[in-house]
Structure formats: structure tokens, C-alpha cells
Amino acid sequence: MFKGTKVFDVHGHVSAPNSVRGWIVGGFSSGHVGESPLKSGSGSGEFSDEAFDRTNNMHREYMDERNIDVQVIGPRPFTMMGWMARHLMTRWTEFTNDTIQKQVEFDPTRFLGATMLPQDANADDLSHCIPEFERNLDRGFVGTYLSPDPVGDHKSPGMHEPYWYPVYEMCQDRNVPVFIHGTNCIDPRIGHIPGNYQVGFVVETFLATRIIAYSDLFEKFPGLRICIAHAGGALDRFIASSRHRGNWEGDNLFFDTCTYDIDYLELAIKQWGVANMAFGTEAPGSGRNVRQESDHPSHTAVGLTSDNLLPVIDYLPTLSEEDKLTIINKNPLKVFPAFANV
């Protein structure tokens, strides 16, 4: 809770036993995987309820320490691996969504599920994703992840193109949002950079932001809502009146707060506007490092992990009390109306 108001987090990822990733590694090695080990609803051994419950408890305790009441969880983006063989990708997607569903079922008052889709950048469009999307919406999922470039080779269609329309139409018809998150990057130029997928996140979310902002996408789909991870990837160097800035105003396009540098976060909120920012932390994820800053108004966050964002947002001098409530509660509700049901 934040001053008596529920904290809704739009950006979380599934927690599951290590055996889950081991399953797909076996698929890479052998070229084959069977049906999801959770297809019947409950696995055994390394996929047992007890194994999943342990990871679920750790995730929930991590949220409790950061005063997060409810979190939307989707796939872990760097494990989406859209470059894999199609027959493996389909099975891996099903299994990943089953793990998300399992975590939600363990604690439906704390977690909401967003789907992974078996994106094929070489298909004519995303029609092949609709059966898996429908399967998950019918069992309570509240939105979907989309990777702007699932293979990581910079050859995917722009996110305003008809290729994406089948999923956009489904989202508009079912009143659920798209959460745009970068995934992998196989660009050999950055192969020497540790965690180079993070560079891919920045590039692809930045491009998605600009592609959408300069398109007529929301004229075609006025009921579509999109939230872009990590505050849209990168900020503008242009002034607000510049033709280089594009248009992101309104209740269609949002950006999350999942950027841990305090000055960057403050500027992101200023550039995109409070009305377009939704609270997101990725906790637990890449924000486990402890803050060392001591010369900022939010100095009370020193000694806390960087993904503990409520103290930072609370002490940003540019935000009013109403602004803070808008970011941590009202805007997440606009993006994911299902928050109102928990």
C-alpha cells in the first residue's frame, strides 16, 4: 500500500523453478519437446506444486518488501527466444503460459497474467498467435506481451503495420492491453557486452515508441491500449514543440516507470507526462543492486535496491500527491482494468 492506496505494478515476470528453463534447453539439444509438463494442471517432481510454490513465495515476499499489492506477470523476456525453431517455439510458449497461470492460481489476489505469444516475424501476420492468445484470455489472462523484434535481427515489421493487426483487433475486442517489451538481440556488434539483451531492450522499445507515435494506429484501433516497458527505452533530445517528438497523448499509449536511475526516471515522467506513466518495477528482476546516491531529494532510497521505486516516486519534488497516486494506481488501472477485480 502507498498512503492507503493499493499499488498496482504493470511490469512483472513469472517466477518458476530452474527446471522450467532446463526443459527448453533439453529441447534445443534434442530438437524435440513434448506437450507442456503442466498441461494436465499439475506436474510432478521438478514441476510439482511444491516446487512452484517455493518460487512463488519468494516472489511474493520480494513484492511485500517493496509494498507492491498486485503485479501483472508475463514471460521473462530474455527467455522468450523468438529465434528458436517454430516447433519448439510453439511448445515453449504454451509451457511458459502454463507457468504464468500456475503462479496466478497460487495467489490470484497478488498476480494477474499476461501471455507470451509464439511470434513468427516471417509470417504474413500474427494470425498464428490467436489460438494461444484466446486460450489464455479464456482462462483469465489480462493482456499480452509483444516483442517488437522477436528474433533480434532488426528485420521485424514496424509495429504500426498490418502484420500486427490480428493481435491488436483481439485486444480491442476483449478490452485487454498490449505490453511491449524487448526480448533478444543477436546483433554481433554488441556480442562483447555483458547482458547485451538489455541494449536490445533499449533499441527496440525506443523504435516501437517512435513508430507508434508517428502512425495512425490509434485512429484504426481507438480502443487499443499499449504500455511500453522501461519508460519507452530512451528519451527525446528535442523540445516539446518539435516535429521530432511525435504524439503520445491520450489514453492509448503509456510508459512504465521501470527505469532505475533517479534522474532518468524524473525526466521520463516529465517528458511523457504524468497522465501517460504507469507504475512498473520488474521486481524481482534486474534491479537488485543497492542504491548509493546521496545527493538527490529521494535520498531516503539510499541503501534500498534500485527496484524499490515507491520511496523514489514519493520524494520526487516535481510530483504532487495526486501525481503519485495517478502513477501508482490510477494509470495502471487504465492500462489493465482487471486490477479493479483484485
CATH number of the domain that residue 202 is part of = 3.20.20.140
Domain membership of residue 126 as a residue range: 8-341
pLDDT in tens, 150-160: 998 989 999 99
Q: Is 181 helix (H, G, I), strand (E, B) or coil?
A: coil
pLDDT mean across residues, the chain: 93
Asked whether the beta carbons of 164 and 208 are under 8 A apart, the reply is no
Residue 270 near residue 316, CB atoms below 8 Å? no
Q: How far apart are CA 123 and CA 167, in angstroms?
A: 14
Contacts of 165 (CB under 8 A, 6+ apart): 125, 126, 220
Whether residue 175 lies inside any domain: the answer is: yes
> pLDDT tens-digit profile of 256-295?
999 999 999 999 999 999 999 999 999 999 999 998 876 6
Q: Is 3 inside any structural domain?
A: no
Neighbours of 339 (CB within 10 A): 21
Element (H, E) at 180: strand 178-180
Let me know if residue 234 belongs to a domain: yes
pLDDT digits (tens, 9 = 90+) for 27-74: 999 999 999 989 766 566 788 889 999 999 999 999 999 999 999 999
Q: How many CA atoms lie within 13 A of 47 on its CB side?
A: 18
Q: Which three cell numbers stand for residue 157?
A: 515489421
Q: Report which residue type is found at 9.
A: D
Whether residue 245 lies inside any domain: the answer is yes
> pTM of the predicted model, to two decimals?
0.95
- For residue 1, being part of any structural domain is answered with no
Residues 280, 232: Cα–Cα separation, whole Å: 12
Report if residue 116 sits inside a domain: yes
Overall number of domains in the chain: 1
pLDDT bin (cut points 50, 70, 90) of residue 296 is low
Kindly report, residue by residue over 74-121, the tens digit of the pLDDT.
999 989 989 999 999 999 999 999 999 999 999 999 999 999 999 999
Strands of the 111-115 sheet, one edge to the other: 8-13, 70-74, 111-115, 143-146, 178-180, 226-228, 253-256, 277-278
Position 248 scores a pLDDT of 67
- Report the distance separating Cα 280 and Cα 328, nearest Å: 8
Those residues whose C-beta lies under 8 Å from the C-beta of residue 58, and which sit 6 or more positions away, are 15, 284
Cα–Cα distances in angstroms (integers) from residue 66 to residues 21, 72, 291, in the given order: 27, 15, 14
Q: How confident is residue 8, by pLDDT bands cut at 50, 70 and 90? A: very high
> Is 21 among the domain residues?
yes
Report yes or no: 307 and 284 within 8 Å, Cβ to Cβ. Answer: yes
The verdict on residue 261 lying in a domain is yes
pLDDT at position 44, please?
A: 65
pLDDT score, position 260: 94
Q: Dihedral of CA 67/71/77/80: which sign? A: positive
230: closest CA among 286, 298, 292? Answer: 286
